[in-house]
Amino acid sequence: MSANPETPASVIPPDRLQQAIDIVRRMREEIQRAVIGQQAVVEQVLACCLAGGHVLIEGVPGLGKTLLVKALAKTFSGEFSRIQFTPDLMPADVMGHAVFDMKNQTFSIRKGPVFTHLLLADEINRAPAKTQSSLLEVMQERQVTIEGESHQLQAPFMVLSTQNPLENEGTYPLPEAQLDRFLIKVRIDYPSAVEEAAMLRLVTHNRVGDGLDVGAVNTLVKPETIVALQQIVAKIRVDDAVADYAVRLVRATRDWNGIAIGAGPRGSIALVRVARALALLAGRDYVTPDDIKAAGLPVLRHRVAVSPESELDGLSSDDLLGALIAQTVAPRT
């Protein structure tokens, strides 16, 4: 495989690379102090943060979606806000609004909870489409427009949304345009028997109530450190053959039997972004085909639409994408 030509500015110094690897390893360990099991989920959410993207976390109530987001926020000393999405939530409640000062006869801007570093949008699909769509501009452009005036958000900025499966009562499907703004969609499944037993012991040992907390998670990094880590991830090497493999996977979704709507060009870009972060988590400064494969499901599952015939056959997007990834020839090292 032929590597892309690299300028000296794009090469990561070995000492900086090792420092970054150590930091992300410690962040992962701290998150797992609060989150029992779910190692793949923890890694995917952390990779999304390192890639500078937004994550949608789906699972039935009670599986620790909010706990995972809180644990990530605890490792990070930046600002953290939470919005509980409800059917009566309005866009102004999310973004902010102008307030008229009777004394001075002037308008002032009251900023909403999106003006933060980490924004937890809890149960986002319980709010109607108008409120969900209010996050589109801020997720894509990192800015908020209030009364015609644009306000830039400070870096880093990440939206971590949780949602319940659509068959749950009182949920609204997210608009396709907003789904595409999420770099990855993570699914949290039921824990294993061993993990559930460990969770039971942790929650019931000398505690009142049934909640897990993030008290054991230590704060490790500042906002500037996260930005520096994201810049290092952007310099992770991607071979031409590996990049071509990502493009072939995404293009295959457009003609795959059982997929009605395939992923667009943003899908291949997202694959490489997440694969770079996964490479750093694995302690490497280059992307392998296995990194692309590992990024496949979380990156593509919300960018494709399953055909009605496949739904009748009980096939999900994960089933179809799993077969697609398995049958697409990967480059050899």
Q: What is the pLDDT along the chain (333 residues), one digit of tens a residue?
A: 444 555 545 688 889 999 999 999 999 998 888 887 788 889 999 999 999 999 998 877 766 777 888 888 888 887 888 888 888 888 888 888 777 667 776 767 778 888 888 888 888 878 877 777 777 778 888 888 777 777 888 889 999 888 877 555 556 677 777 788 899 999 888 878 887 787 777 777 655 555 566 777 888 988 899 999 999 999 999 999 999 999 999 999 999 999 999 999 999 999 999 999 999 999 999 999 999 999 999 999 999 999 999 989 888 999 999 999 999 999 886
Joined together, the tokens standing for residue 285 give 């400064």
Q: What is the pLDDT, as a whole number, of residue 214?
A: 74
What are 228's strand-pairing partners?
none
Domains recognised in the chain with CATH numbers: 13-221 (3.40.50.300), 236-333 (1.10.8.80)
**62 Cβ contact partners less than 8 Å away, ≥ 6 residues apart:** none
Q: What is the pLDDT, as a whole number, of residue 11?
A: 81
**204 Cβ contact partners less than 8 Å away, ≥ 6 residues apart:** none
Q: What is the pLDDT, as a whole number, of residue 294?
A: 95
Q: What is the pLDDT, as a whole number, of residue 170?
A: 58
* Residue 191: cis peptide before it, omega within 30 degrees of 0: no
pTM of the model: 0.86
CA dihedral 204, 208, 210, 213 (to 10 degrees): -90
